[in-house]
C-alpha cells in the first residue's frame, strides 16, 4: 500500500469532511494527519474500500474531538463561529478561481455548526458525499433507521433561506465595500439596506476579545449595534477585504 499516493488522492476530500465537521481548518488537517498515522499501523488487507474506510476514520475522530471541544467551550459565554480560510492575497489564478467557484458557502458552514455532532456527520455523509444509509450506519455505528431520523432532524434545523440569501459573486464585493464605508464614516444605512429583513448578526470573540454574547436579530438592531461599536472606537484601525474560502470536496 502506497500511503503517499493514497494521501495525495484523498487528502482534499478528507480535509473537506473534517473542516465541515469541525469548523477549523487547523483541526481538520490534524485529524487527517492522525488518521494516516493510524492507518500505517493498521492491517488493511481485508479493507475493500480504502476511501470509505478513511472517511470513517476521519468522521469518528471528528466526533470525538467535537465531544471534547464541547466540554472546553462550556467556559466561554457566547456564540462560536466556524473558522474561515481567508485569502488575504487577492490572488486570481485560474486554480484559485476554480476553488472559489466550487466552494460551499460560508453561510452553509455556519448552519452546519448549529447541528449536533451526530446530525452534522449524517448530513454531510448523505447530502455532500451522497452515501447511502447502509454506508452511513456502518461509519457511525448506528442503525439505518436511526440515521434516517437524525437526517430528518438535521434538515429541520437547517435554514435554506438564510443560505440562499448570502451574497454571491460580485455581490460580495459590494457588500464588503458597504461595510468598510460604514466602518470609516459611521453611516451603516447603505450596508444595512443590503441585508434581508430577518438578518442575524453573530459575533465570536473566542473568549479573547469583547463580542455580543447573544445573536442580534433584525436590520434595525444590527444598524444600532454597528453604530454603537463605531461610536466607541471598536472599528478603528485598518480593515481589509478577505476572500473567505472553504475546502471543496472532491469525491
- Using the predicted structure, report yes or no on whether residue 246 has a pLDDT greater than 50: no
| Structural contact between residues 27 and 68, judged by C-beta atoms closer than 8 angstroms | no
How far apart CA 209 and CA 116 sit, in angstroms, is 26
Domain stops at, among 103, 131, 157: 157
- Using the predicted structure, report yes or no on whether residue 100 has a pLDDT greater than 60: no
Q: How many structural domains are present in the chain?
A: 2
53-65: burial string, b at 16+ Cβ within 10 Å, e else: bbbbbbbbbbbeb
Residues 142 and 56 placed together within one structural domain of the fold: yes
Residues 45 and 134 placed together within one structural domain of the fold: yes
Among the listed residues 244, 248, 203, the one whose alpha carbon sits nearest the alpha carbon of residue 107: 244
- Using the predicted structure, report yes or no on whether residue 21 has a pLDDT greater than 60: yes
Residues 85 and 67 placed together within one structural domain of the fold: no
Residues 18 and 72 placed together within one structural domain of the fold: yes
Which pLDDT score is estimated for 168? 54
Residues 250 and 205 placed together within one structural domain of the fold: yes
Mean pLDDT across the stretch 94-120? 64
Residues 53 and 121 placed together within one structural domain of the fold: yes
Domain stops at, among 99, 129, 157: 157
Residues 34 and 105 placed together within one structural domain of the fold: no
Residues 129 and 193 placed together within one structural domain of the fold: no
Mean pLDDT across the stretch 157-166? 59
Residues 101 and 153 placed together within one structural domain of the fold: no
CATH value at residue 127: 1.20.140.160
* H or E element, residue 217: strand 216-217
31-45: burial string, b at 16+ Cβ within 10 Å, e else: bbeebbeebeeeeee
pLDDT in tens, 40-64: 887 767 777 888 889 999 999 999 9
Contacting residues for 77 by C-beta, under 8 A, at least 6 apart: 213
110: domain range?
A: 78-115+158-251
Residues 33 and 109 placed together within one structural domain of the fold: no
Residues 142 and 97 placed together within one structural domain of the fold: no
Res. 77 pLDDT band, cuts 50 70 90: low
Which pLDDT score is estimated for 247? 43
pTM: 0.64
Domain stops at, among 125, 157, 189: 157
Residues 202 and 226 placed together within one structural domain of the fold: yes
CB atoms within 10 A of CB 73: 13
Amino acid at each position: 500500500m502506497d500511503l503517499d499516493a493514497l494521501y495525495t488522492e484523498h487528502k482534499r476530500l478528507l480535509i473537506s469532511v473534517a473542516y465541515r465537521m469541525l469548523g477549523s481548518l487547523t483541526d481538520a488537517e490534524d485529524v487527517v494527519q492522525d488518521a494516516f498515522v493510524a492507518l500505517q499501523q493498521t492491517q488493511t488487507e481485508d479493507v475493500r474500500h480504502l476511501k470509505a474506510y478513511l472517511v470513517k476514520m476521519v468522521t469518528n475522530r471528528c466526533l470525538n474531538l467535537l465531544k471534547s471541544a464541547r466540554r472546553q467551550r462550556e467556559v466561554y459565554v457566547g456564540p462560536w463561529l466556524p473558522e474561515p480560510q481567508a485569502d488575504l492575497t487577492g490572488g486570481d489564478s485560474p486554480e484559485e478561481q476554480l476553488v472559489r467557484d466550487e466552494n460551499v458557502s460560508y453561510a452553509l458552514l455556519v448552519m452546519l455548526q448549529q447541528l449536533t455532532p451526530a446530525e452534522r456527520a449524517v448530513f454531510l455523509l448523505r447530502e455532500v458525499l451522497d452515501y447511502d444509509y447502509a454506508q452511513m450506519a456502518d461509519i457511525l455505528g448506528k442503525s439505518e433507521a436511526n440515521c434516517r431520523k437524525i437526517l430528518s432532524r438535521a434538515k429541520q434545523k437547517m435554514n435554506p433561506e438564510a443560505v440562499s440569501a448570502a451574497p454571491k459573486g460580485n455581490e460580495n464585493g459590494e457588500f464588503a465595500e458597504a461595510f468598510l464605508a460604514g466602518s470609516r464614516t459611521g453611516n451603516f444605512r447603505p450596508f444595512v439596506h443590503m441585508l434581508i429583513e430577518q438578518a442575524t448578526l453573530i459575533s465570536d470573540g473566542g473568549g479573547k476579545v469583547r463580542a455580543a454574547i447573544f445573536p442580534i436579530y433584525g436590520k434595525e438592531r444590527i444598524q444600532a449595534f454597528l453604530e454603537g461599536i463605531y461610536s466607541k472606537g471598536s472599528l478603528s484601525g485598518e480593515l481589509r477585504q478577505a476572500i473567505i474560502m472553504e475546502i471543496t470536496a472532491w469525491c
